[in-house]
Structure 1
Amino acid sequence: MIKLIGTGVWILAITLASVYFSLKMASAPKVDADAAEREAAMEFVSGYTTTVPVIGEGGVNGYLLTRLAYKANRDLAARQVVPLPQLITDELYTLLVGKKMIDVANTGSFDIEAFRGVVKEGLNRRFGAEVIAEVYVEQIDYLTTASVRDPAPRRGVTLLKGEVPAAEPAEKSGGH
């Protein structure tokens, strides 16, 4: 009988200890008040599509279309003299035309993380404060000048739906 009571007390003690430790571990994690304040001061800024010409030998070879988004400190951004979108566009022109961060001839060498870091550092240097916390790349496209001049054959865009008359052979139309 004493063994039975001892076993019951042992099981009860282990059950109470396991419930206590599981509740202790499941309690809400401690919140870093400073980190919470910094996160609350941030806002998401959606960028504009910026078209940057790619200049090569003989003129413009194509266009880079970029759209970036940012996590910015709302208070510091509001204090800036130049509006955020215009300064961001200027910095992108500096990076993509002046420093040539993206080499369209060798796209395999493009490092997206380095690009984000350079954009963030450049913007914060221009602002004179840590305004930009993160840079998000929404879009980076390259269009050649040939595809801009005559986009239909290269992109396969359907311009008209329905019945389209067949083109006449070159001999019947005058041989131009």
Structure 2
Amino acid sequence: MLKLVLTGVWVCAVTLGSVYFSMQYASAPVMSEADADRRASEEYIPGEIITVPVIKEGAVQGYFLAKLSFSATKEGIAKLHAPLRQVVTDELYDMLVGSKFVDLADTGSFDLPTFKVAVKDGLNKKLGNEVITEVLVEQLEYLTKDDVERVANSQNRPYQKPVPVVDKNGNVAADKIPEGAVKATSSSH
């Protein structure tokens, strides 16, 4: 018993020592003064989920779901004539409705870095100034029209009859309870 207690104390001492020394030698990443000034002049703007229809050949082919957040200059945000979230939503609709960002034939060709740069450039062009400094993607999904219909129809699925259980002799065992289950149930009471 004494060996077990001493082993526990030894393990605790080693653990605490390793945590202490790792904290002593760990250091925060060094940020240059220019980076610190830039970060102090920026503000994080959380995004909201928007659903943009993907239109091809005059019909809706699917839906592009996006939740984008932004890093923007405080000075630029103060000069805006409309709230940034509404401007972002408007620009994303302008960019994505009827665009080639989502190719239905080859969804694997989507280029996220290009998309982020295009959103940033499009927003800054619309705002008339370098307001957006970074685009952060929180959620990005594409649902085909068939995916949406499949989910919608699964809630209205008609009741399906249960499949009967057949025992090894080919008899339908719908009303039979195996003997082992009865004994196990009755013995537990």
Q: State the match for 2:39 in structure 1.
A: 39
TM-score (norm 1): 0.65
Q: State the match for 1:60 in structure 2.
A: 60
Q: State the match for 2:104 in structure 1.
A: 104
Q: State the match for 1:23 in structure 2.
A: none
The residue matched to 2:48 in structure 1 has which SS? strand
Q: Deviations over 1:58-107 (max 9, x none)?
A: 62121110111111112211220021011111111121114332213211
The residue matched to 1:86 in structure 2 has which SS? helix
2:55, 2:98 within 8 Å by CA — same for their partners in 1? no
Q: State the match for 2:149 in structure 1.
A: 149
Which structure 2 residues correspond to residues 17-166 of structure 1 after superposition, within 5 A? 31-32=32-33, 34-57=34-57, 59-151=59-151
Instruction: Verify: 1:167 aligned to 2:170, yes or no.
Output: no
Aligned length: 134
1:30 Cα shift?
Answer: 8.3
Q: Deviations over 1:141-166 (max 9, x none)?
A: 11222322330677xx9x9xxxxx85
Structure 1 gaps of 5+ residues are 1-27, 160-164, 170-176
Separation in 2 of the partners of 1:62 and 1:93?
Answer: 14
Letter in 2 for 1:138: E
User: In the superposition, relative to structure 1, how do residues 151 and 98 fare at CA in structure 2: closer, same or farther (>3 Å)?
Assistant: closer
Separation in 1 of the partners of 2:153 and 2:63?
Answer: 18
User: In the superposition, relative to structure 1, how do residues 109 and 35 fare at CA in structure 2: closer, same or farther (>3 Å)?
Assistant: same
1:47 Cα shift?
Answer: 0.8
TM-score (norm 2): 0.61
Q: State the match for 1:8 in structure 2.
A: none
- Give the fraction of aligned pairs with identical amino acids, expressed as a percent: 44
Separation in 2 of the partners of 1:29 and 1:168?
Answer: 65
- Alignment RMSD: 2.9
Q: Deviations over 1:9-53 (max 9, x none)?
A: xxxxxxxxxxxxxxxxxxx96842x43222101111111111011
Separation in 2 of the partners of 1:120 and 1:58?
Answer: 28
